Chains A and B, each alone.
Chain A
Amino acid sequence: MRRLVLILAVFLMPAMVFAETAVNTAAPEFSLPDPTGKMHALSDYRGKFVVLEWFNPGCPFVKKHYGSGNMQQLQKKYTAQGAVWLTISSNAEGKQGYINASNAAEIIAEKKLASTALLLDHEGSVGHAYGARTTPHMFVISPKGELVYSGAIDDNDSPDPEAISSSKNYVAAVLDQGLAGQPITVAATEPYGCSVKYRS
């Protein structure tokens, strides 16, 4: 039965509506493997702020934030404060940014990834459920499991790392407000970056 559903899902994929999950609604549940095969479900992290970061090591906009150390710094800072940071690759096999068990360790080491886990979404189903369009497209989920932020990482869509110092980081603002129990002022922005390399 599960197999049938899976086949159907793959079959129906191109027809699936690519819709963004609305902020302030329940974040879609998922369960994805990390490169070692260990499964991570969103529900495992109930009670914590969860950050979802769509990732492609070859994308210049991702490089902007990793090359400068900006992304890793955010990952360290907020996981230290109890948040969970899931870096997700929805890049399909044969496409740029495809990550599997054999190249993952190298990429994690090279990019000095400091997130809780790198998750592999080869079918793109989680990317579709959230409507992840770009790398990096960022989502923040509240401890109650509600999507509280969807959009860009900051307000400067330039691929130039120089721009980071003068940018306003939306994700950091959401987490600072969320962790302090304050209302979140900016809940949705337009994501920028490369397209997620989904299975065609």
Chain B
Amino acid sequence: MFPYIFALLWLFSPGLIWSASAEAPSHIRAELISEFDAVIPGQQFRAGLLFQPEEGWHVYWQNPGDSGRRPHLTFDLPSGWLADDLLFPVPERIAVGPLVNFGYPGKVLLPIALEVPPSAAPGPLRMRAHADWLVCKEECVPGEKDLYLNLIVAGADRESGHQLLFRNTEKQLPIRSSQLHVETERSDKIIRLDIKAEAPLRLPAADLLYFPLESGEIQNAAVQRYVLKGDHASLELIPAAGRRDPPSQLHGVLVAKQGFGAAGMPYGIEIGEPRAVAPVTRLEEAPLSIGLLSALGLAFLGGLVLNLMPCVFPVLSIKILSFAKQGCASRQEAVKTALLFGLGVLVSFVGLALLLLFLRGAGQELGWGFQLQSPSFVAALALLTFILGLNFLGVVEFGARLQNLACTLDRHEGALGSFVSGVLATLLATPCTAPFMGSAIAFALSTSSFKAVLVFLALGTGMALPYVVLGSSPSLLRLLPRPGPWMVRLKELLSFPLFATALWLVWVLSIQHGSGAEMLLLFSMLLVGFGAWLMRAVRSTVKGWIVILLAAALGVAGAARAGRPPGTSPDSAVSIQGRLHWEPYSDTRVEELKKEGKPFLVDFTAAWCITCQVNKLVAFGSTEVQSALLRRRVTLLRADWTSREAGITAALARFGRAGVPLDVYYSGAPDAEPEILPSILTPGAVLAALHD
């Protein structure tokens, strides 16, 4: 009987090639089959690559795991025919010593969708495809083969003898389901998936495994602990150790060996989105063509310009005051104050550089302004500016009373104060990227630690220099008006930019971590206010400060706890601004638009980046720009970096940047280079890029 069937099969498919030929043993049989023998024009159907390995041998899934290689199939299609990607049924874990591979330890069909063009001419057709694979037991044997598929294009379709195999395989293909909800909670040591299923899906009591679709996500060989509790289940994964770029979100397949529920329910459910960029490409493409000297020069210039940026303005106010104070101090005193301020700036820049290098060394994706991606830092800064504002208003006193505004400058406080205001200036400067700074910082982050510190030092020098020059030059100082009661008024007036900064930081926190965190922060501000009142009411500075500090601690701790895990992008990413519609940024979308040859603009931004907010208002708020963008049908993508997002950090790195703002315009013309717009965006600059 069998030889008979074999002969028949051979007769009906003369092109079928058994890969078990006379050569070296291949340990596997590979063939190309179809669910239909006869197909009709316009029909979509499935063909497939069928592997039948010998006992003990296996082929691989699309992500082979610790070693191995996925099979490939490329069709040599007649014109007008279409082939989709090879589909992979749910895999199994295959242990090889301490390593684990993902694959199929037996017969497996990898289906592929084909489409017959409506214009296909009737008649027989022999289609060729090239397959290559790796089959392993203990050792591995690569194989490749030209495979053939015989079809007839006819008026009616006819099923082949493989229908059942295709139907059974279909059930094993992972699907996407809105009935399965997965929340990811991750730390350095563990990734915990919290899984919930809605009817008709049901979570299995046991045998649920996660298979990553992309490499470098998890330790493939680690045991996955699965616990079902009522309608919830948790699955614990161990993150891949030692990766420089741990993927911020998972992309893989959850596989239930017995299926997610009754018969007819799927066995595999795909979760997460494809990772934006492979780390390799990112590092390769980073165009860091500038040398150390130009980086230092650019950093210095950037530091100078930083003084003029909107986010440094509140600190500018502090400094103006201290110089006015110096109008009556001795020259030595003035020089000393200026130098101390400069020292404060430099020390904090170096501190920032070291912290950044340390954290990046620990594998974090960070850039300029990174500390503002931390909710605790934002909350702390908001409280600090608020308390400082109260101090300027004269509500809260730091130790001694008002005299320090007059000419009796307390020496100790003056020295410390100058240094601290330098530190403050640096902290407040971080949300800003001044022109020239972008490439200098990107250079710093890609070079040796020593050079990186040098670049940051140059930045600090640039920022501190105007003050040091002003402070140490008596002729310039004489230009400042004589001290007097106006200084108290000025100081009070200057509390308002500080309050504005605090407001803005509250807004940043609310975008980053929702209204719960925002409310807590506002509440702790209320307590700070109460502490300030207490100070006066009971004439106890100590009690007042205890309340203020407790309130601040509450705000910071609250912000840290209320934080939702990074990766959930803030809603502000998609927005309608005037007549403009912004889509959230993704690398896939960029590739799509590039392929379609459509013009598009990417706006890399963050809520905590004031320059970005100003750009948004000035450039994209202008009706002229809006009309030009709409007329040219420019697709607008907004990459929101408010919370840490590895994909966006990587995209920034491709432009040689380590921070925002960055605006890039793609004209859509074939082979046109993307155009990088100026950091400080004007309507004119956008219009010029659009050639409008």
Contact = CB atoms under 8 A, between A and B. Distances in A.
B391 interface: no
Contacts of B242: 19-23, 25, 131, 150
A13 B97 CA distance: 10
Contacts of B363: 22
A17 B218 CA distance: 12
B62 interface: no
Contacts of A24: 244, 361
B244 A22 contact: yes
B292 to A, nearest CB: 11
Contacts of B241: 17, 19-20, 22, 131
Contacts of A42: none
Contacts of B399: none
Interface in A122-180: 124, 128, 131, 133-134, 150, 155, 157-160
Interface string B111-142: 00000000000000000000010101011111
B97 A185 contact: no
A21 B244 CA distance: 10
Interface in B60-93: 66-69
A4 B101 CA distance: 33
B689 interface: no
Given A20-B242, A133-B67, A195-B136, A189 B280 contact: yes
B510 to A, nearest CB: 36
Nearest to A190: B215
Contact of A60 (B99, B142, B215, B222): B142
A142 to B, nearest CB: 11
A157 B141 CA distance: 14
A32 interface: no
A189 B67 CA distance: 13
A7 B219 CA distance: 26
Interface residues on A, range: 35 or more
A35 interface: no
A22 to B, nearest CB: 3
Nearest to B69: A157
A195 B283 contact: no
Contacts of B284: 185-186
B219 A19 contact: yes
A120 interface: no
A18 B98 contact: yes
Nearest to B139: A96
B290 interface: no
B283 A96 contact: no
B139 A188 contact: no
Interface string B305-328: 000000000000000000000000
A199 B138 CA distance: 12
B294 interface: no
Nearest to B95: A200
Contact of B140 (A59, A95, A160, A190): A59
A77 B244 CA distance: 29
A133 B219 contact: no
Contacts of A18: 98-99, 219, 221
Nearest to B64: A192
Interface string A8-22: 000001101111111
A82 interface: no
Interface in B235-264: 238, 240-245
A69 interface: no
A183 to B, nearest CB: 5
28 contacts: A14-B98, A18-B98, A18-B221, A19-B219, A19-B242, A22-B242, A22-B244, A22-B363, A24-B244, A58-B139, A92-B97, A124-B97, A131-B241, A133-B66, A134-B66, A134-B67, A159-B69, A160-B142, A183-B448, A185-B283, A185-B284, A188-B244, A190-B215, A192-B69, A193-B67, A196-B67, A196-B97, A199-B97
Interface of B: 66-69, 96-99, 101, 132, 134, 136, 138-142, 144, 215-216, 219, 221-222, 238, 240-245, 279-280, 283-284, 286, 361, 363, 446-448
Given A96-B139, A188-B280, 8 more contacts: A14-B98, A18-B221, A24-B361, A61-B140, A124-B97, A131-B241, A159-B69, A194-B67
The 3 closest A-B pairs by CB, nearest first: A22-B242, A198-B97, A19-B241
